[in-house]
Amino acid sequence: MKKFETFSGIAAPMPLVNIDTDMIIPKVFLKSIQRTGFGKNLFDEMRYNRDGSEIPDFVLNKPQYRDAQILIAGDNFGCGSSREHAPWALDDFGIKVIVSTSFADIFFNNSFKNGMLPIVLPQEQVDVLMADAEKGANARMTVDLEAQEITTSDGDVIKFEVDAFKKHCLLNGLDDIGLTMEKEASIDAYEATAGAERPWV
Amino acid sequence: MSPKTLYDKIWDAHVAHEADDGTCLLYIDRHLVHEVTSPQAFEGLRMTGRKVRAPEKTIAVPDHNVPTTAGRENPEQMTEESRIQVAALDKNAKEFGVHYYPVSDVRQGIVHIVGPENGWTLPGMTVVCGDSHTATHGAFGSLAHGIGTSEVEHVLATQTLIQKKSKNMKVEITGKLNPGVTAKDVTLAIIGATGTGGGTGYVIEYCGEAIQSLSMEGRMTVCNMAIEGGARAGLIAPDQTTFDYCKGRPHAPKGGAWEQAEAYWRTLFSDEGAHFDKVVTLKGEDIQPVVTWGTSPEDVLPITGVVPSPEDFEGGKVEAARRSIEYMGLTPGQKLTDIEIDTVFIGSCTNGRIEDMRAAAEVLKGKKIKDGMRAMIVPGSGLVRAQAEEEGLADIFREAGFEWRLAGCSMCLAMNPDQLSENERCASTSNRNFEGRQGYKGRTHLVSPAMAAAAAITGKLTDIRELM
């Protein structure tokens, strides 16, 4: 997995609540057996007309947000299906950080597995970032995971919480499976004990 | 020893390793696999030279992409991309040696129906699948939740998941349900009360007289939609109803092993005084047959209601409601029972079990669907289909004018050819009414099987109590 490094980027505002994974990547694009190439269909039904032309009002089609790396989103972002194609599509587009008041559980976990950082903040702070994002391309935010800080274009610093283990994995680009396999002895021991206690499993 | 919840007990029995910060390796007893979210995971194993650690605990079945029409063994019925995914599952199942039910097997069906039906899902287990509706299996008192593809690969390789414990939430439904009110109405009413984000960070235990009186099929419907309320999982403590359902299933324990298992299962309940971080109580008598009007499962109202106005809401929900009402082509103040329906879909992991077939048949018996109505029933598995034919239900469906299909996910998510066209309005027994879910610009109203059958007859969203 790629390491998460401090960066400054454009933030796009998406205040709609309950943005679901069907919106993020509609099911017609789930038929690939690869992990890449989903970015062009990110938010497909909101972003394109049926003839393939862009819907100019959609935020990521506006000139100032086409290179956005941060999304400031409404509550309960990523609800719905478990499809990891949703974070794959965001990542492929270039989004590295999503900020919301809450995320759906599976989407939240899936994002970390792909080197992306979902950040949960209280409504008032999301409102500050939303207003900053509304300013357009000149308003670049800086995200520093090590310090757990977002700096707005006005220089305001907003602190955020992140699980220590997940932070460690992101900063170092660590592969979960490799880490778990180092604990293989524990898994072996568990299987022996549980197998004796609950042999029908 | 301090009192424990059911979730606490199952969690504690599955921790294979705990780090100082509380991050755990949770051991997984059953891993269910389907064709859409697994190809990249198997490919990951191949690239790193890893094996499936416990192929005997891994069960694969194609369901999302498969056509539900006769002659589907012919791959020409699928688009090339779907064919590639099903072929990949075929290849991966064989190469890695996991249990597999191919399309040609009578036991094939929706993964969440196949698991319980064959006795793979049992009380007290941990069950995962690369599908959010894995919550279904919680009906057995097993800790079951959806995972992403990276986690699918992690479970394949290590038979564990890296997890932190969720909080405990109790949802109690007291008293009895009124006639015409089904498990689907209960689970939608709960989401209506808690919101789609209300369960985020929690594992829900459903309890109370109204839950206990449900069949296993009904309990699976309730737990299935725990995810639509944002919860990681939904649980119902196992009881005699659970044990009776499990007994004799092909992969359930037999003889002495059954006795031992049942004795253990009887310890799986929340202790008196166990701590819940959040408690929600609804009266069973207050729940009415419900229907969704919008594009989020929380947009739910009793069938006797009217389409709301965006101003009825607060905050970000105002804009979401405005967008939903426009997308759905509705007018605030319109009676829900005045909404005309083009299509009826009965099926899915929410409502594709035998009891759902029976409920629909009871309404449809001796009746015809409205002229011009497109109506299909898609059983959740080949075994459900066979049983429905044996009970004469299939004849009732065909005579009423329904298409009687083969098993699969079908129009619940419309990855196969079963889709809505633009502005087509559907009464559906599935679980999601998201924009575009059942087809581009398709309009979905979530209902129970009985209400879906009623809508097929009258051509409108209908209060089932008026047909009883």
Q: Is A137 left (phi over 0), alpha (psi -120 to 50) or beta?
A: alpha
Same domain, B15 and B124: yes
Mutate to test the interface with A, among B9, B134, B151 (most CBs of A within 10 A): B151
Say whether B315 and A106 touch across the interface (CB within 8 A): no
Chain B environment of A103 (Cβ under 8 Å): 200
Q: Which amino acid is at B331?
A: T
Say whether B201 and A176 touch across the interface (CB within 8 A): no
Residue A137, min C-alpha distance to chain B (Å): 24
Across the interface, of A105, A194, A200, the residue whose CB is closest to B261 is: A200
Does A167 have pLDDT greater than 90? yes
CA distance B60 to B103: 11
* DSSP symbols for B291-317: EE-SSSTT-EEETTSB---GGGS-THH
Residue with tokens 């069906």: B109
Same domain, B308 and B355: yes
Say whether B296 and A18 touch across the interface (CB within 8 A): yes
What tokens were used for B350? 């929410």
Same domain, B331 and B444: yes
Each residue's pLDDT tens digit, B195-212: 999 999 999 999 999 999
Q: What is the CATH number of the domain that holds B453?
A: 3.30.499.10
Sheet with B160-163: strands ordered across = B15-18, B24-27, B160-163
CA distance A78 to A23: 9
CA distance B1 to A183: 29
pLDDT tier at B75 (50, 70, 90 boundaries)? Answer: confident
What is the helix (H) or strand (E) element at residue A168, kind and residue range? helix A164-172
Per the structure, the count of domains in chain B is: 3
Across the interface, of A33, A163, A191, the residue whose CB is closest to B39 is: A33
| pLDDT, position B105 | 96
Same domain, B117 and B256: no
Residue B344 domain flag: yes
Does B79 have pLDDT greater than 90? no
Query: Among B105, B132, B163, which residue terminates a domain?
Result: B163
Same domain, B266 and B297: no
Give me the domain span that covers residue B61: 6-163
Residue A128 domain flag: yes
Over range B332-359, report the average pLDDT.
98
Same domain, B237 and B354: no
Say whether B196 and A198 touch across the interface (CB within 8 A): no
Give me the domain span that covers residue A167: 7-175
| pLDDT, position A101 | 97
| pLDDT, position B377 | 98
Sign of CA dihedral A84, A90, A94, A100: negative
The beta strands (E) that lie in B167-232 are given as 167-174, 202-207
* Residue among A96, A123, A115, A107 nearest A11 (CA): A96
Residue A68 domain flag: yes
| pLDDT, position B232 | 96
Q: For residues B38 and B130, is the Cβ–Cβ distance under 8 A? A: yes
Residue A112 domain flag: yes
Residue with tokens 């109506």: B375
Across the interface, of A17, A34, A105, the residue whose CB is closest to B40 is: A34
Residue A63 domain flag: yes
Does A185 have pLDDT greater than 90? yes
Residue A37 domain flag: yes
For A4, list phi and psi in degrees, rounded to 5.
Answer: -90, 120
- Count of CB atoms situated within 10 Å of the CB of B269: 18
Q: Is B460 helix (H, G, I), strand (E, B) or coil?
A: strand
Say whether A31 and B319 touch across the interface (CB within 8 A): no
Q: Is B162 helix (H, G, I), strand (E, B) or coil?
A: strand
Each residue's pLDDT tens digit, B253-300: 999 999 999 999 999 999 999 999 999 999 999 999 999 999 999 999
CA distance A63 to A61: 6
| pLDDT, position A175 | 86
| pLDDT, position B68 | 95
CA distance A170 to A7: 14
Each residue's pLDDT tens digit, B221-240: 999 999 999 999 999 999 99
Q: Is A148 left (phi over 0), alpha (psi -120 to 50) or beta?
A: left
Across the interface, of A28, A34, A187, the residue whose CB is closest to B16 is: A187
Does B74 have pLDDT greater than 90? no
Query: Among B132, B163, B194, which residue terminates a domain?
Result: B163
Residue B1 domain flag: no
Same domain, B384 and B454: yes
Chain A environment of B435 (Cβ under 8 Å): 22-23, 45
pLDDT tier at B1 (50, 70, 90 boundaries)? Answer: confident
Chain A environment of B432 (Cβ under 8 Å): 20, 22, 80-81
Residue B345 domain flag: yes
Same domain, B62 and B125: yes
- Count of CB atoms situated within 10 Å of the CB of B27: 24
Confidence (pTM)? 0.96
| pLDDT, position B370 | 98
| pLDDT, position B190 | 98
Does B146 have pLDDT greater than 90? yes
Q: For residues B432 and B350, is the Cβ–Cβ distance under 8 A? A: no
What tokens were used for B225? 């939609």
Residue A150, min C-alpha distance to chain B (Å): 23
| pLDDT, position B3 | 98
Say whether B153 and A79 touch across the interface (CB within 8 A): no
| pLDDT, position B312 | 96
- Count of CB atoms situated within 10 Å of the CB of B51: 11
Say whether B150 and A84 touch across the interface (CB within 8 A): yes
pLDDT tier at B76 (50, 70, 90 boundaries)? Answer: confident
Q: For residues B175 and B283, is the Cβ–Cβ distance under 8 A? A: yes
CA distance B130 to B62: 12
Same domain, B185 and B149: no
Query: Among B286, B313, B341, which residue terminates a domain?
Result: B286
CA distance B310 to B330: 12
Say whether B200 and A105 touch across the interface (CB within 8 A): yes
| pLDDT, position B358 | 98
Beta strands at B126-129 and B30-33: parallel, antiparallel or unpaired: parallel
| pLDDT, position B208 | 98
Does B77 have pLDDT greater than 90? no
Q: Is A172 helix (H, G, I), strand (E, B) or coil?
A: helix
Each residue's pLDDT tens digit, B2-39: 999 999 999 999 999 999 999 999 999 999 999 999 99
Over range B402-410, report the average pLDDT.
97
Chains A and B form CB pairs within 8 A to the count of: 186
Q: What is the CATH number of the domain that holds A51?
A: 3.20.19.10
Residue A191 domain flag: no
Say whether A82 and B148 touch across the interface (CB within 8 A): yes
Q: Express as a percent the part of chain A with pLDDT over 70.
A: 100
Query: What DSSP designation does B42 have?
Result: H
| Mean model confidence pLDDT for chain B | 97
Which of the residue ranges A171-180, B73-82, B281-290 would you say has the lowest mean pLDDT?
B73-82
| pLDDT, position A137 | 86
CA distance B90 to B103: 10
Mutate to test the interface with B, among A84, A91, A103, A123 (most CBs of B within 10 A): A84
Across the interface, of A22, A84, A104, the residue whose CB is closest to B436 is: A22
Same domain, B258 and B344: no
Q: Express as a percent the part of chain B with pLDDT over 70.
A: 100
Over range B172-198, report the average pLDDT.
97
Say whether A187 and B85 touch across the interface (CB within 8 A): no
Between A193 and B77, name the one with better pLDDT: A193
What tokens were used for A144? 């520093």
